[in-house]
Structure 1
Amino acid sequence: MLRHLVSLLALCACTCALAAQPATMRVDYYHTGNALEEHYAMDRVVIEPLPWPGNMSQTIDNTNRGNNLVEVTDPKTGKLLYSRGFSTVFAEWRSTEEATKANRGFQESVRFPKPEQPVRVRILKRDDRNQFSVVWTTDIDPNAMDVVRKQPPAPVKPIGIRVNGPSPDKVDLLIVGDGYTTKDMKKFEAAARRLADHLFQTSPFKEREKDFNVWALALPTGESGVSRPSTNTYHQSPLGARYDIFGSERYVLATDNRALRELAQYAPYEFIEILVNNETYGGGGIFGQFSTAAADNDWANYLFVHEFGHHFAGLADEYYTSPVAYATGGERREPWEPNATALHDPANLKWKKFVKEGTPLPTPWPKDAYETASRAYQKERAALRAANRPESEMSALFHKDLEHTDALFTPDPNRHVVGAFEGANYEATGYYRPEMQCIMFDRSDKFCSVCADAISTIIDLYSRPASKSGI
């Protein structure tokens, strides 16, 4: 009871601090199309129940991350009022085989501080030149009659996991549960606290712990767990989270964006990680949208941090021997992700500030030996899943694989060197990662220097230094 009272008082304190902030406006829209074309259509404009949680002195995003960019402008003067980079589930789906044969639609949302006057909202997309160009424009009048202004009472109250100050001065992370019954609520809260603790034991989050607030929220469901269609397991869950997204057995996403936004709006948030009440290994992360992790898996700590790296900082996967849900191959264009490169111009490597003089680019590493072992590991992993073996056997295989990788990498002279190691972004050739090993490459426990720096940049975008916040 005392813990929940403290959480309630923390929420009240942050809500009071938000009182001077503008309201939060959300635009829900549909993103449809196929592999060759895409379309947008307005769904609705919503004023959320809580004020804008963000820092109003940092409304413009200059990080150049994401497949998309939302811009809010003054239609009379063209002045840019707000921008944020993001990526979408649609962008991943359109690279699947299904997208070559069918049309699909996805729900999406963008949020921004409520303006006093009409604004123009533009969605931009990266083009073949790696530049953003406008793909959809809509004019929004915050005073229009069809704007949704009244919300129902909060179905559940958020729990303050870590509250370090007013939301405008902090990064607000919301941990949402899916597949938890009323009886599972204590289990969810314990998982949220445990995984938040682990996140802040991992650099650079460890050093920036005081720049975050962490909230937890879960809407009870009728049965425990989320759907896993490949094993004929189906559960109704509030957010529609499920495994087997795009045919990948380990890929977990929430499929009901509206339900997610309608629940999340009752807590201050800028980032969301969804915990699914399952033990089967799985997760996913979309930059600027949300990430997911199986809370009961033996590797939940790793999953939580790895997938949050995608969602929070737009980090690329650095592994390349695991099967993925979408098509790879083709031209090796320079990725926008901060931790992967096509190395077209080694002299201007995007992370060259971390590279010591004399480091060869590309940088040698035991690639052939790693790939030989990985092929055997992937074959065994696929066999375990095909036979639906106990999760403990899969977990043991993961430990065995990591131990082999550590043994292979430890004696290598480039083990901790920052360079350009071929094999990244799901490709064995043509893409390069900054270091031999990283949380984004395997199930190790540290971010490489480049990923840590990329994370710090996003923390700076959303938080306000203590010297400026008065804390």
Structure 2
Amino acid sequence: MLRRLLFSLATLACLAAPPRTMRVDFGHTGDATSETFGLDRVVVEPLPWAGDPAKALDASNLGKYFFEVDDKATGKALYSRGFASIFGEWETTDEARTLRRTFSESLRFPEPDGPVRIHLKVRDAANAFKDVWTFDLDPRDPSIDRSLPPSPGAVLALQKEGDPAGKADFLILGDGYTAAERPKFEKDARRLMEMLFAQSPFKEHRADFNVWAICPPAQESGISRPSTGIHRHSPLGATYDAFGSERYILTFDNKAWREAASYAPYEFVEILVNGQTYGGGGIFNLFSTVAADNAYSSYVFVHEFGHHFAGLADEYYTSDVAVTSSPARPEPWEPNVTANPRQPKWAGLLSPAAPLPTPWKKAEFETFSHAIQKERRAIRAANKPESEMDALFAREKAFETNLLGTDAHSGQVGAFEGANYESTGYFRSQEDCIMFTRDSVPFCAACRAAIERVIRMYAR
């Protein structure tokens, strides 16, 4: 017994304390045809690094961008991650054709022991990553900011399953909740957490997650919705109307939400906004958002979290969007859509009875959906009550659930044309999916497989 105890103590003594978390804040500037990068500051966050040191390198091939931290002396890769960004979406909008803008972004990684070289890469036309910005960093640089940012308030453990290093750590941040509304935030956060874990494959992997919550108090209830003249100086800066899309919620205040989030372990972040109007957003390895009080908040939350967590593409294509796709139809990096229906990424999941491409009631769906979108635009243009939008969505859901659930290949895995905002040239794995409609359906087979791959990247 004594020998075993001494061995255990010796083993613990040999284990090094986890490194601190280092964050590089930088500016990402450009337009539709060019992009440049500039260092803003380097900070050391309040908490130790929460990730698994055995899973420091990213082999998922996900993301429009990728960064790698290399030991400067040996060139050995110490840490890497793929990600997407607000700039990466904005550069495909009409505005980017006539205007240059700067967005604040961040890279987070374990604080290195010595000097490192950081490579930021972007995909080229052939989908390969190429260097676009390289810089050196010495962790002993006295200009690195090691001060503590203002406390955002108490950190709530909604679900703690174990050491953050062995779990996927998910942080829910509240925005637009006053101090008096904190109990509402906690109730909203718990409700949506339960909705996430009611969906496969999150349901089967619930024990692989820690879930934390922080809600910095707002001076006013709610967030900005500029298209209706509503402006709020909320703690995290979340706003509707991102890129001119009335339902798209983002925050462009990277520093504000990063500083609030730094007080909890996290790899994934949801910004839960105190609002009733339908809306949300999700960007891979950045954050996702949802309006808490909308009738469809649970659906939007799970859908947008799919973008953020696993890099899932939108499978719908009839709704208005601010971004534009390439007419060349290059193969997307996202795991649930393809431009090659005869050899899709999910080939190992195909149903034997499903032909490739897979026929479905596409024309009937499009005729109905375009009519719904026309009604949707009219409701927003007239600024009608949200209840009218909810009723429209309910009518849409009833029709589409029946149409897509009773087709010849409903439930089968194949290659169904219409995805990635385009009616032709892109294909999804199943006729219906959380990433395609608001119907009461699960994630499609390709989405489930992609989510499970990411879970394995973070959970032991």
TM over 0.5: yes
CA contact (8 A) 1:329 1:427 kept: no
Describe how 1:293-332 pairs up with structure 2 within 5 A.
293-332=290-329
Map of 1:171-250 to 2, 5 A cutoff? Answer: 171-250=168-247
Question: In the aligned structure 1, how far is the partner of 2:307 from the partner of 2:150?
Answer: 32
Query: In the aligned structure 2, how far is the partner of 1:388 from the partner of 1:45?
Result: 44
**Residues 321, 152 of structure 1: CA spacing in aligned structure 2 closer, same or farther, 3 A cutoff?**
closer
Q: Counterpart amino acid of 1:30?
A: G
Gap runs ≥5 in structure 2 = 1-14
Which of 148, 153, 157 lines up with 1:156 in the alignment?
153
Is 2:351 aligned against 1:356?
yes
Q: CA deviation at 1:108?
A: 0.2
Aligned to 2:34: 37
Question: Hey, what does 2:21 align to over in structure 1?
Answer: 24
Name the amino acid aligned to 2:457. L
CA drift at 1:36:
1.0
SS of equivalent to 2:187: helix
- TM-score under structure 1 length normalisation: 0.93
Name the residue aligned to 1:388. Answer: 383
Aligned counterpart, 1:449: 445
Deviation (angstroms), 1:329: 4.2
Structure 1's unaligned 5+ residue stretches are: 1-17, 465-471
Secondary structure of the 2:74 match is coil
Secondary structure in 1 aligned to 2:250? coil
Q: Which runs of structure 2 are paired with 1:333-352 in the superposition (5 Å)?
A: 333-343=330-340, 346=342, 348-352=343-347
Deviation track 1:62-104 (CA, whole Å, cap 9, x = no partner) reads: 1100000010011222111111100000011111111111110
- In 1, Cα distance between equivalents of 2:276 and 2:59: 39
Following the alignment from structure 2 to structure 1, what is the Cα–Cα distance between the partners of residues 150 and 286? 24
2:398 matched to which residue of 1?
403
| Shift in Å, 1:23 | 0.8
Q: Is the 8 A contact 1:161 1:216 kept in 2?
A: yes
User: Which has the higher mean CA deviation after the structures are superposed, 442-451 or 148-157?
Assistant: 148-157
Partner of 2:409: 414
Q: Secondary structure at the match of 1:57?
A: helix
Q: What is the CA–CA distance in structure 1 between the aligned matches of 2:272 and 2:152, rounded to whole Å?
A: 18
Paired positions, count: 445
Match of 1:80 in 2: 77
- The answer to whether the Cα contact below 8 Å between 2:152 and 2:215 also exists between their aligned partners in 1 is no
Q: Secondary structure at the match of 1:20?
A: coil
What's 1:431 paired with? 426
Distance 1:355 1:153 in 2: 51
Q: Percent identity?
A: 55
Structure-2-length-normalised TM-score: 0.95
Paired with 1:401 and 1:30, the residues of 2 have a C-alpha distance of 42
In the alignment, structure 1 residue 368 sits paired with structure 2 residue 363: yes
Measured at CA, do residues 455 and 349 of structure 1 come closer, stay the same or move farther in structure 2, by a change above 3 Å? same
Measured against aligned partners, the alpha-carbon deviations of 1:246-298 in whole angstroms (never above 9, x if no partner) come to: 11000000110001111100011110000110000000001000000000101
State which drifts further: 225-234 or 146-155: 146-155
Q: Which runs of 4+ in 1 moved over 4 A?
A: none
Indicate yes or no: 2:106 matched with 1:106.
Answer: no
- For 1:221, the aligned partner's letter is A
What amino acid does structure 2 have at the position aligned with 1:128? A
